[in-house]
């Protein structure tokens, strides 16, 4: 059984790692029916802090194939992945392609596979923000339409697919592979020295991640974010591991005065997985526009304030760990004040997260091996 796993960006690496481990364990227990897995790195994220460090932290083996898609517009990036991945498919002729998440690499690899009649499994299927202005929403919807196996992390995602008329036999409720990575690597993350390196006290700071084009590629939008963060930092120190594009645009738009070096808003370089998890688990709260960070904070039960109008991770709202504030600074500041005026969250997880137990990847491999033939 030959399977190709596709990863291209930071959130993909976190989600693909448990699948690689689950395949390794399956092969160790079933020597007569091994899975041959080929890991393809599309190169959507390619610098060390956004790519290679995650392979190191998550014990992911060196990719078998690099597509080197690089940066560019959405069409350029998706198109480059499609062209280069088609060559891989024609050479390797896999029985199945597994794609994860909702980045351009996900859609590009899924389209190339579907056009060659190679079955596609989409991990993290069914999520919907119902905001088509988000390119990730377009990627999600289209990938789900052409996939043969839809591995779903939440019950609301199952309902989304049913409402869209997806046949029941394609839908598998398996849980969240992001939770798998946290369960597998939390002990190592707890050993990180990032707090001492940054001279931070537990629960004495907030964490910031902002990287979406709608928030950082426009001068007015980025200035609004930075002004809000400056106001929040007057209440509590903030640590901002800045995405390369965010940092570049702060300089390009001449907004450095909104993040002076002497302020309580500290811009630092992007962090690896273990350091970032440690930073989040010991924080008072997180302000983000990232879907993955909304997942991580919910798993860790850390209050999250999301700088977006809508989210695909509806379960994070239902579980009480996350609140949407749009791009309204007053709402964000009010949310921070409410968190600071309340006792820190306990480690108790919401009952809604019943399958976020660290075994999603194992369930996925069990379905692919035992449920039915890989050939539709």
Q: How many helices (H) and strands (E) does the chain have?
A: 16, 13
pLDDT at 374: 39
pLDDT at 74: 86
* Residue 184 within any structural domain of the chain: no
Do residues 125 and 206 share a domain? Answer: no
* Cα dist from 202 to 211, 344, 376, whole Å: 25, 11, 52
pLDDT at 178: 95
Dihedral sign for Cα atoms in the order 301, 187, 12, 172: negative
Do residues 230 and 313 share a domain? Answer: yes
Do residues 209 and 346 share a domain? Answer: yes
Under the banding of pLDDT at 50, 70 and 90, the label for residue 261 is: confident
pLDDT at 362: 95
pLDDT at 343: 84
* Residue 186 within any structural domain of the chain: no
Do residues 294 and 208 share a domain? Answer: yes
* Residue 155 within any structural domain of the chain: yes
Active site residue 66: no
pLDDT at 45: 54
| pTM for this model (two decimals) | 0.92
Note down the domain range covering 327. Answer: 192-353
* Residue 118 within any structural domain of the chain: yes
Longest Cα–Cα distance in the chain: 63
Q: How many whole angstroms separate alpha carbon 173 and alpha carbon 154? A: 7
* Residue 185 within any structural domain of the chain: no
pLDDT at 348: 64
Do residues 125 and 35 share a domain? Answer: yes
Do residues 208 and 100 share a domain? Answer: no
Q: Are the beta carbons of 130 and 145 closer than 8 angstroms?
A: no
Do residues 363 and 341 share a domain? Answer: no
The structural domain count of the chain equals 2
pLDDT at 347: 65
Question: Among the options 45, 122, 211, 243, which is catalytic?
Answer: 211
* Average confidence score pLDDT of the chain: 92
Percent of the chain at pLDDT above 70? Answer: 94
């Amino acid at each position: 059984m030959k399977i190709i796993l596709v990863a291209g960006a930071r959130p993909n690496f976190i989600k693909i790692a448990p699948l690689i481990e689950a395949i390794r364990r399956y092969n160790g227990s079933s020597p007569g029916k091994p899975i041959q897995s080929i890991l393809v790195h599309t190169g959507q994220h390619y610098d060390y802090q956004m790519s290679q460090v995650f392979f190191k932290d998550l014990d992911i083996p060196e990719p078998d194939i690099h597509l080197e898609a690089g940066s560019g517009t959405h069409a350029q990036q998706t198109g480059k992945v499609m062209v280069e991945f088609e060559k891989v498919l024609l050479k390797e002729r896999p029985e199945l392609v597994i794609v994860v998440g909702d980045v351009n690499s996900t859609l590009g690899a899924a389209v190339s596979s579907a056009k060659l009649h190679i079955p596609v499994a989409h991990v993290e299927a069914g999520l919907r923000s119902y905001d088509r202005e988000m390119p990730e929403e377009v990627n999600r919807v289209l990938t789900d339409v052409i996939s043969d196996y839809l591995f779903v992390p939440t019950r609301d995602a199952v309902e989304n697919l049913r409402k869209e008329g997806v046949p029941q036999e394609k839908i598998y409720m398996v849980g969240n592979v992001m939770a798998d990575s946290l369960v597998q690597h939390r002990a190592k993350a707890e050993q990180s020295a990032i707090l001492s390196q940054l001279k931070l006290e537990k629960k004495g700071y907030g964490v910031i991640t902002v990287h979406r084009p709608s928030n950082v590629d426009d001068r007015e939008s980025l200035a609004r974010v930075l002004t809000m963060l400056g106001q929040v930092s007057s209440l509590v120190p903030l640590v901002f591991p800045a995405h390369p594009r965010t940092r570049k645009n702060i300089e390009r738009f001449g907004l450095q005065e909104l993040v002076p070096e002497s302020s309580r808003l500290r811009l630092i370089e992007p962090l690896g997985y273990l350091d970032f998890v440690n930073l989040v688990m010991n924080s008072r709260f997180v302000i983000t526009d990232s879907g993955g960070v909304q997942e991580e904070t919910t798993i860790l039960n850390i209050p999250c304030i999301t700088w977006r109008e809508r989210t695909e991770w509806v379960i994070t709202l239902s579980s009480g760990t996350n609140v949407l504030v749009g791009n309204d600074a007053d709402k964000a500041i009010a949310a921070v004040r409410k968190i600071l005026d309340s006792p820190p969250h306990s480690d108790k997880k919401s009952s809604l997260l019943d399958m976020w137990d660290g075994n999603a990847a194992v369930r996925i491999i069990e379905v692919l091996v035992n449920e039915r033939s890989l050939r539709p």
